Structure 1
Amino acid sequence: MEDRTKEDLLEDLRKKELEIQALKEQLKNQSKNLAEVCTVKDLASHPILPRTNIELDNKSIARYSRQLILPELGPKGQKKLLSSSALIVGCGGLGCPAAIYLAAAGIGCIGLLDYDVIEISNLHRQVLHTEERIGVPKAVSIAQAITALNKDVEVVPYDFVLTSEVALQLVSKYDLVLDCTDNVATRYLLNDACVMADKPLVSGSALRYEGQLTVYHYQDGPCYRCLHPKPPPPETVTNCSDGGVLGAVPGTIGCLQALEALKIITNIGSPLAQSLLLFDGLYGTFRTVKLRGHKSTCEVCGDNPSITKLIDYEQFCGAAATDKDTGLSLLGREKRITVEEYKSIRDSKTPHILVDTRLPVEQEICALPNSINIPMKQIDKEKSRDIIQSNLLSQGSKQVFCICRRGNDSQKAVLELSQLLGEEYEVKDIIGGLTAWANKIDSSYPVY
């Protein structure tokens, strides 16, 4: 009777999930109607027309009065803002504050590009999105927030992936670009497109408690390639999804990106054209590092550039142009098992040990019972080998299974432990990790 009741509940849950998904699709379609979404097909037929002969009416004077009375800006600067355009690439933790402050300041036209939809995990830092708009395209969501704040701003949401085929065409439409993305391939793509279109690039990044900000290709400053001619190895790059971030940190950097854009458009102050701003949110400190100027030998902005057209940046960087987990493939199938296969091993009480390679703080969130926590950075230590061998001895087994959040670090752990323990031990990883366990085995298990 108890099993039947559980099945009934699971069936009810599946039905509710289908109903929720249908409602999300309805909301998504309604949201798209509220903001005209520009697709790749629409790009050529959707020009951003320059605004000329801007005059300040009484409404504008009242709205922008607090910045109009700034001597450095004044009515002349406000007219520049109203006649300008800015493209924001990435509508997440950086893009939200950048977009709303540009709209509040009166930028005439704001383009918003992001192909992703809102998830609940976004809301702690992507503060223009709401619970009601989960499942809605992020660009559309920000467009709605901007329109609610300032109806005089023309806003164009682009709901597609930025590629080498369309980047130059899109970037050329705007006065400047804000890089609010979270992956290396898109950073190189935006940099090269901005250099070729001769547009300033306001670049921000945030991870954990720290943020960085600079302006590329402006006032004889360097472009991104001047400083980073070659991309870093993909395995050394960490994004917010893997490394975490405190929401106020991208909020701070996003606001500063908006500030840099406003300074560039109105030609006031000293933009960070040859400086890198470093922010440490944990200690509340800012420091500025001087950058070398434009590099004459740079492959894209140098005197004799070897890169004269946009290339395949995913191939160049060896990584996808996304902050989503794309999944590593380091092991053959014989070294891997599915979560269903592992559940059978647990249910049959076959002697083995389970090594959880996540950080201790992640184990505090959730963990499978009887797992041994050895963080990935410690997996190759002799102490780790001794712990594993001791537990195997007590179990009377030589089977080791490794698990992590999504099935990436666990593969690396298998490679390390196979060498550390030797051929007499059977070491395998669990495909998809704890996320797969939650999706396929236990729907009550938390996903983070």
Structure 2
Amino acid sequence: MKTGEMNNAVIKRIVIFLFISCIFTAANVKARGLAILRTDTSVKAEIIRQLNDKAVNSGLYFPSSTKRFYLKRNFAPIWTLEQKDQNKTWAAMLLVDCVLQFGLRHEDYHPKDLLYPLLHKILEQPEKISNSQKARFEILLTDAMLTFMNNLHFGKLNPYYSPAKIDRETVNGFNGSDILANALNQPAFMDAIVKVQPTNEDYKTFQHQLHMIKGVYEGDCYETPEADVRKIAVNMERLRWAEINDSIYIQVNIPTYSLKLVRPDTTFNFKVIVGKRAAPTPLMVSMLTDFATSAGPRVIKNKSRDKFNSGNFSFKAATPNEKKGAYIYFMPGNKAGIELQGVSDKSLFGKGGRAASDGAIKIERGEELAKQLLITGGDKNDMKLVHRALMNREVKVFPLKKPIPIRITYITAAIVDGQIVKYNDVYNLDSVIENMLYDIKPNNKTK
């Protein structure tokens, strides 16, 4: 063998030897790391172990969010640290202990494990509590806080976002684990947490009333609340679903048979007819991007592509039981195919109870609503064109330059001069939500 060939062979053997050595070294390091973790009994190591334990995760409401929270902290404990300032730990306990003040259920936040005597021992006599117990308390308090925040923001029974979806991703810019981490850096920790609630005025009025009734963070947190408190809680839950946090929006409320267009300076109110009990109007969170005038009732050709274009719908002549008149269709993009129909027959809106529609939500003074929408988010110059199209019974689409949030809600109460006013529960839904919120059997309610 030539010298060059021999040198190449030697080099090749050395490279192979080094490669194999690296593999064994890496495997050995990993094995040693695992061995260290297995022998490490610190709270941090216990947190890692328990968050990777399927049995522990199955008992958490938001396991992925909890794990993300600790991952960003490198799994360091936060609530069970031996520190001079333990105010945030006690504040967290107080919040999840008295969730009734927010219309929520105490049993949903690990009350059997998050015990005050245990926390006192963890913080005051840490040597008497194992790191495994400390880690468990850590994880459960974090999960309880995340659950509380998510329930305050989205509601417990949100029909649009499941707990699993909220747990695995950021929803509409809201990420509980990031917000909790940020709140821990704020001097007013409790304020930073409860700030996740809706900013809608109706919600804030309910929240204020509930605090007036039960006391701010005080009172008995363990009873099933009385009927009026439950009524308020049910409607706070629904307002969490509605995401009414804009200064400009449209809200159709089924129990009051009303539509309101809210602007920063004023509110415009309209009467509506909603679906009857056999064809109930569903809830909706959407955006209104345009509306159209027409000569009569609309016939949809393709529901899956239902927009204002000539290929998807046509119009039929008025039937004998329908008064002749122009129509305006306000069609938000929604999977349920809900449409709002402005009609010119004012006599339809004289009755007090107006759950009488087979489908569309019928709106009194549709032309006035159309004009206000153009002022709010469209072109004011189109106002004359709307009137002309209605007079000539033309099919014409009017886009909005600024889409307007539109919500269909089911709010069955209001606070007027400090007193609760109850509306007709048109579809008998209050008891359903109430029982689910508080896990109450229908025949076992507190009066």
Give the TM-score normalised by the residue count of structure 1: 0.28
Give the TM-score normalised by the residue count of structure 2: 0.28
